[in-house]
Amino acid sequence: MNDQTLWDLITTERVPIDDLVAAVDAYLADPTIRNHPLGSAYRIDLAAAVAKHLRERPTATPANSDEPSRRIEVRSALLLARPIRLDRPEP
């Protein structure tokens, strides 16, 4: 099991920051996305990551809030999530 958060993977440059931006965009376009690539060695369940974050934070931004607020909330959820490492090695 992977114990590293997406934040850990980004700060150690194993996942590009642009992949976080793409993941946020993808979730905002379709909040049911389950299997989203991160770099060449990871995947993340966007829907589950955001749902878990919202359950754990009762003060989370409501779904009907403005787009910048939702974007920040989704970004926070994804940075705290633990992506799944694929079997192939990192580049």
pTM across the whole model? 0.85
| Range 63-80 average pLDDT | 88
Encode pLDDT of 25-66 as tens digits. Answer: 999 999 999 999 999 899 999 999 999 988 887 666 666 678
Selection from 26, 49, 20 nearest residue 60 by Cα: 49
DSSP string, the chain: -----HHHHHHTTSS-HHHHHHHHHHHHH-TT---EEETTTEEE-HHHHHHHHHHH-TTPPPTTS-HHHHHHHHHHHHHHS-PEEPSSPP-
Cβ contact 20:6 at 8 Å: yes
Region 70-88 average pLDDT: 91
